Amino acid sequence: MRASQPLTESRLILSMRPMSPWLLAIRKHIPRIYRSPAELAADFRAIMSRRQEIRPLMRGAVIDPAFRERLMLAVTQVNGCRYCAYGHAQQALAEGISAEEIEALGQGMFAGSPPEEVPALLYAQHWAEADGEPDPAARDRVAEQYGEQVTAGIELALRMIRMGNLVGNTWDYVLYRISFGRWGA
C-alpha cells in the first residue's frame, strides 16, 4: 500500500477539478446548467441591476475577500463547476486560506472555516441547492446575524458565482454533446 503524498498547492488545485462526478451529473441530467438563454439572461439582469455594488464587494469593502472566496467555493461545490473550482481554489490560496480548508470546502465541509462564517457558508450551500431561491426563514436568520447590507453582499457574491458555475457547466455540456462524449467534463 502506498503512503499518502503530502498535500501541495498543485495537488490541491488538481483535486478541485471534479471530473468523474461531473460526467455522472451530465449522464443523470442534474439541473446545474442553464436550460435556456432566458435563464442566463435573468441571472445577468439580476447581477447588472446591482452593478454598482460589485466593485466594493470584490475589493473587500462589504465582506472580507477570504470570506467571499469561502462562499464562492461553497456554491461551486454544490454546482460542480470544474473551472470555478480551479480558479477560486487559486484565489482562496492567494487570500490566505489554507490548502486543507480549501480541500474541505471542496468536499462541502466547513470544519476548518472560521466559526463566525459557518452560518453564511451553510446558507450559501442551501442557496445553491435551492437554485438561488432559498427558504425565506433561512435568509432572515442570516440577515439577523450579519445585517442586511452584509447579507445583500453575500447574496450578490452567490449570484455571481452561480452564473459563473452554470456558464462553465453549460459550456462543458455543449462540448460533451457536440463531441459525442469525447470533450467536456
What's the pLDDT at 19?
42
* DSSP secondary structure letter of residue 64: -
What's the pLDDT at 177?
87
Q: Examine residue 29 and state whether it is found in any structural domain, yes or no.
A: no
- What does the alpha-carbon distance between residue 40 and residue 138 come to, in Å, rounded to a whole number? 25
pLDDT digits (tens, 9 = 90+) for 10-59: 444 444 444 445 445 544 545 589 989 999 999 999 999 999 999 999 99
Q: Examine residue 45 and state whether it is found in any structural domain, yes or no.
A: yes
What's the pLDDT at 21?
53
pLDDT of 153 higher than 60: yes
Q: Examine residue 27 and state whether it is found in any structural domain, yes or no.
A: no
**3-state secondary structure string across 103-171:** HHHHCCCCCCCCHHHHHHHHHHHHHHHCCCCCCHHHHHHHHHHHCHHHHHHHHHHHHHHHHHHHHHHHH
What's the pLDDT at 134?
96
pTM summary value: 0.83
For the record, the C-alpha cell of 136 comes out as 425565506
What percentage of the chain exceeds 90 in pLDDT?
A: 75
What's the pLDDT at 8?
54
Q: Examine residue 97 and state whether it is found in any structural domain, yes or no.
A: yes
Q: Examine residue 78 and state whether it is found in any structural domain, yes or no.
A: yes
- What does the alpha-carbon distance between residue 98 and residue 116 come to, in Å, rounded to a whole number? 17
Helices 99-106 and 65-79, axial angle in degrees (round to 10)? 30
What's the pLDDT at 182?
85
User: Across residues 82-94, what is the average pLDDT?
Assistant: 96
Q: Examine residue 136 and state whether it is found in any structural domain, yes or no.
A: yes
Q: Examine residue 91 and state whether it is found in any structural domain, yes or no.
A: yes
Cβ pair 155, 127 in contact under 8 A: yes
pLDDT of 151 higher than 60: yes
What's the pLDDT at 104?
96
Helix intervals (H) in 4-117:
9-15, 19-28, 37-48, 51-58, 65-79, 82-94, 99-106
User: Across residues 84-107, what is the average pLDDT?
Assistant: 96
* Residue 48 domain boundaries: 9-16+36-178
What's the pLDDT at 184?
77
CATH assignment of the domain containing 100: 1.20.1290.10
Match 455594488 to its residue by C-alpha cell. 53
Cβ pair 108, 74 in contact under 8 A: yes
Q: Examine residue 138 and state whether it is found in any structural domain, yes or no.
A: yes
Say which residue, 108 or 181, is predicted with more confidence: 108
- Our count of domains for the chain comes to 1
Structure confidence at residue 84 as a pLDDT band (50, 70, 90): very high
